[in-house]
Amino acid sequence: MSGTQDASLAVNDTSKDLQSEQSGVAQKQEDIEEVTEEKLSPSQKMDKLIRGNSSNYLKKEIEKLRKEAAKYRSISKIEAAQKLELQKMSEEIKKELDSLKESNRNLKIMRALDKAGCIKSDLVSKEVPIDCENLEEFIERYKEDNKFLFSAQKKNVGSTFKASGVKNLTPSQQMDAYIRAALGR
């Protein structure tokens, strides 16, 4: 062989070695990229996609991102529907709670009016203002202005014991009568 052929063969061998080394380096870079790809943030992944060399790789990544975006859109729609349903339920509960509060307020007012001796506490309870701070004071003033709506309170004088009509009772029968009277029988 001549010297030029030896030189060209040597150059071919070195170029083949360089190509194999470059492909080995490229393979190592791909392996490193796969490992570090998991650690990349979304913006770093996007930069990598923009600067990527392989169009097939880009297609795969874009398809993967589209699938992920579709998944998030469907999850978002489901969550929005659930949120709307929960808001409707909370509004219903708020309405029910407000009506229960109003009912409770009315019952408290009616109980206080009954305690004060009001004859028509259901009608008078509507006269009590919503922002009334001192209910007892309001009832006393209302009672003075509208005496006909309030009955006179009965005063118990003495005991409520009623003697037996029969005078000829034995001591044990008398004791039984006292006990029955005390118990209200």
Q: What is the DSSP string of 120-182?
A: -HHHHGGGS-TT-S-HHHHHHHHHHH-GGGBPPPP---S------S-S---HHHHHHHHHHHH
For residue 18, give the 3-state DSSP assignment: helix
- On whether residue 65 sits in a domain, the answer given is yes
- On whether residue 178 sits in a domain, the answer given is no
- On whether residue 15 sits in a domain, the answer given is no
For residue 118, give the 3-state DSSP assignment: strand
DSSP summary character for residue 32: H
**Residues composing the chain:** 185
Q: Which residues contact 5 (CB under 8 A, 6 or more apart)?
A: none
How many structural domains comprise the chain? Answer: 1
Question: pLDDT 10s per residue in the chain (185 long)?
Answer: 455 555 555 545 555 565 666 566 556 556 555 555 567 777 777 777 676 656 677 788 888 999 999 999 999 999 999 999 999 999 999 999 999 999 998 889 889 888 888 888 888 888 888 888 888 888 888 888 888 877 766 666 556 655 556 567 888 888 888 888 888 76
User: Which residue range forms the structural domain that includes residue 60?
Assistant: 41-149
